[in-house]
Structure 1
Amino acid sequence: MQLPLLALAMASFGIGTTEFVIMGLLPEVAADLGVTIPAAGMLVTGYALGVVIGAPIVAIITNPLPRKLTLMVLASVFVLGNLLCAIAPDYWLLMGARVVTAFCHGAFFGIGAVVAASLVPPKQRASAIALMFAGLTLANVLGVPLGTALGQALGWRSTFWAVVLIGIVAVSAIAIWVPRDIPHSAGNILREFGVLKRPQVAITMLISMFASANLFVVFTYIAPMLRDVTGLSPHAVTYVLLLFGVGITIGNILGGKLADWRLMPSLMGMFLALAVILVAMVFALPSPTLAVIAVFVWSIVVFAVVAPIQTRVVDAAVEAPNLASTLNQGAFNLGNAAGAWIGGVAITFGASYADLPWMGALLSVGALGLCMASQAMERRNGGLATIPDVACEEC
């Protein structure tokens, strides 16, 4: 079953490059379109809100469709959205194109995670999900730094043209390698929304929001932060982004293994570590060597939480895994939007780029508190999904 997972990873590579590469190109996009860097940072927020809005809509529309066809359609929308980004003549049309691209994001990762988990034995589900998300981490190892370098050399639009080509390859891989007979019960998806009444599902999605907000409040502005605070050249920032990608690749693999071992204790330990690392980053930023070390360590831990959270929400919403997994991607991207917005507002009102890790540390502590509440609730109820079935009583 490695080829189907590889096809999903290829698509996640393209989607991840589109989502994250804009951070490395904020100065270039802002200069070309005649807007401020915080305004350009809102392109991150716009993308994330597109995921949030699109996730439930796309989940409803695609619910009756076979899973393979759904994944192919979503990947095709991704290609179209990036084509529109490449030819967008001004800021607002670029924003609209980003939103169109984002509409496929939540549903693709949500449905793709469930499909990946269905292709392997139960004890390997978190690792399979992590393998699919490896495309997302590889996007940060190769896609973001190479896309940043390409955009700096040939203009930021060239990066989006390259992503269009990646998307075409991903659609072809899904068509060839993903099996047709993927189990899927369409049921009544509107009734399945009742699964959101479960406290554990809601808490896990809040954890996703805090986890992504603590990432994006810093990562959205990492290029100007490393240039202005640390004093790195644009060329050196590209190498730091490459190192960041290596770190999140390691973290993704580590997170999948830890989730298959002891999910919640591992998750709580990682959020505690994130808070400590981000505080240390504040003091490391003025030194190029310490700043690079801090970014690398942070990158490992910050992405290790992804597979455990995605596995947790699927387990908590066992009767509606496709919907819950998709909506969790929406929650994650709502956190993306919140993190980028918080950082942008702080900078606009006088905060320095060096202050942003403090905000990330506070968000990590909030996620840790939610994890502790979820764990306590699970122990009190004698299990994770013990509340009576509210999702599929009549499916």
Structure 2
Amino acid sequence: MTDTTSQLDGAAIGLDSTVPSTWSPTTWFAVISMAATSFALVSAEFLPAGLLTPMARDLGVSEGTAGQVVTATASVGAVTALLSNVLIGKLNRKTVLVGLSALAIGSNLLAALATDFWLLLLGRAGLGVALSGFWALSVAVVARLVGTNATGRGMAIVTLGVSLATIAAPSMGALISDWLGWRAATAMTAGLAAIAMLLQILSLPTLPASTSNRLSDVFRLTKRRTVQLGMLAILLLMTGHFAGSVYVRPFLEQVTLLGTGPIALALLGFGIASVIGNVAGGRLADANIHVALAVTGVLMAFSALALVLWGAQSGIAFALVTLWGFAFGMAPVVLPTNLSRGAADALEAAGSLMVVSFQVAISIGALFGGYVVDHFGASAPLTFTAVLAASTIVLALLQPRS
């Protein structure tokens, strides 16, 4: 999205480059609908962290293999993100967002009803399309809803849905899977997507496309050094995170020797801490993006390595999982802010690159994590997390100052 693009259709969507002193109820409703969508989609994305063991048992596969449902979501999402803003062309952005929510409903239902692992993978792949399409458009749509100078405030609310999902999905998923089965937990995410779709229909204004992106425009952005380093930061930190976080439940079961109830409590602590991290990350990113990136890497590297060293003690394990949650809560704010610094004139194209980076990182992390957990035990993925998170610290020091 260019500067000219951001000013088109202003009367239709209420866009103003100045920061409004207060948002109208209509604007609040629209932004909240975006937050509800992020909550529904990310809840479905993170659900396997709390369902991995019963899901693997039911489908007759190893925990490492079951963890590849995350890889399926992410790998399909990476390809979709690269092409999404090209394929949607001149379609009304509201229509696209509602359609993506409908796809999420169908995909979650297919996963819940899957009779074998391949049908489950197909359902998760559909979820990957919905996720990547939504996030690729999110920054540009929020900018149109609230004004370019209030985009950070709007995105903080939208990404709050991510943090809340980290509370609801893994912990509640673990409990619901014990009470009603993992399929019931998966089906509930379809209900969340249906609520989000209804809110979108009721609240989002018409969002006519003011430009049609070309694939060459997306690739042209990758020539900018700030964008390159921003993408690399996402790849390092998120690959490390998902290599370890997907397999936290097996670690807590096999190393810390916790039961389902304490594990759900630990994952709840992770989620609550991520909400706090989301707020802290936004404030720190506004003050100094380089420090914010370094702090995020330090906290994640320390918590993962310390779990490997001292995670057999339940009290320490609870504290470190919570610290990890705080670091992860910072990431959805810090990493996109870091990337977008060099692409303020092309937000939709930058959104595609951002999602591609996230999804490739999730794919590699889950794939490698699944391999090492099957071959080297539950502690190995967390060691990999620590190494890559520490690499992000070095990258933060190399980022150009602006």
Calculate the TM-score normalised by the size of structure 2.
Answer: 0.89
Tell me the residue number matched to 2:77.
51
| CA deviation map 1:336-363 (0-9, x unaligned) | 11111221221232x2212332211110
Matches within 5 A, 1:1-395: 1-120=27-146, 122=148, 124-181=150-207, 184-193=209-218, 194-349=220-375, 351-375=376-400, 379=401, 383=402
Tell me the residue number matched to 1:387.
none
| CA deviation map 1:53-78 (0-9, x unaligned) | 21123222113222222211111111
User: What's the CA shift for 1:305?
Assistant: 2.1
Alignment-mate amino acid for residue 53 of structure 1: V
Query: What's the C-alpha RMSD, in Å, of the aligned pairs?
Result: 1.8
Name the CA distance, whole Å, in 1 between partners of 2:127 and 2:328: 24
| CA deviation map 1:263-285 (0-9, x unaligned) | 22221222123222322222231
Alignment-mate amino acid for residue 329 of structure 1: V
User: What's the CA shift for 1:310?
Assistant: 1.1
SS at match of 2:134: helix
- Provide structure 1 residue ranges, at least 5 long, that are not aligned to the other structure: 384-395
SS at match of 1:25: helix
Alignment-mate amino acid for residue 96 of structure 1: L
User: What's the CA shift for 1:123?
Assistant: 5.2
Say if 2:139 and 2:347, in contact at 8 Å, map to a contact too.
no
Name the CA distance, whole Å, in 2 between partners of 1:12 and 1:164: 13
Alignment-mate amino acid for residue 170 of structure 1: A
Q: Percent identity?
A: 26
Alignment-mate amino acid for residue 246 of structure 1: I
Q: Cα distance 1:146–1:369, how it changes in 2: closer, same or farther (>3 A)?
A: same
- Provide structure 2 residue ranges, at least 5 long, that are not aligned to the other structure: 1-26
User: What's the CA shift for 1:256?
Assistant: 1.4
Say if 2:277 and 2:326, in contact at 8 Å, map to a contact too.
yes
Say if 1:23 and 1:222, in contact at 8 Å, map to a contact too.
yes
SS at match of 1:316: coil
Tell me the residue number matched to 2:20.
none
Name the CA distance, whole Å, in 1 between partners of 2:332 and 2:347: 16
Q: Cα distance 1:189–1:315, how it changes in 2: closer, same or farther (>3 A)?
A: farther
Name the CA distance, whole Å, in 2 between partners of 1:216 and 1:62: 29
Q: Cα distance 1:342–1:188, how it changes in 2: closer, same or farther (>3 A)?
A: closer
Say if 1:113 and 1:132, in contact at 8 Å, map to a contact too.
no
Name the CA distance, whole Å, in 1 between partners of 2:144 and 2:281: 19
User: What's the CA shift for 1:157?
Assistant: 1.0
Say if 1:130 and 1:256, in contact at 8 Å, map to a contact too.
yes
Aligned residues: 375
Alignment-mate amino acid for residue 129 of structure 1: M
Name the CA distance, whole Å, in 1 between partners of 2:99 and 2:338: 27
Say if 2:239 and 2:385, in contact at 8 Å, map to a contact too.
yes
| CA deviation map 1:211-256 (0-9, x unaligned) | 2112111111011110110011012211111111101111111111
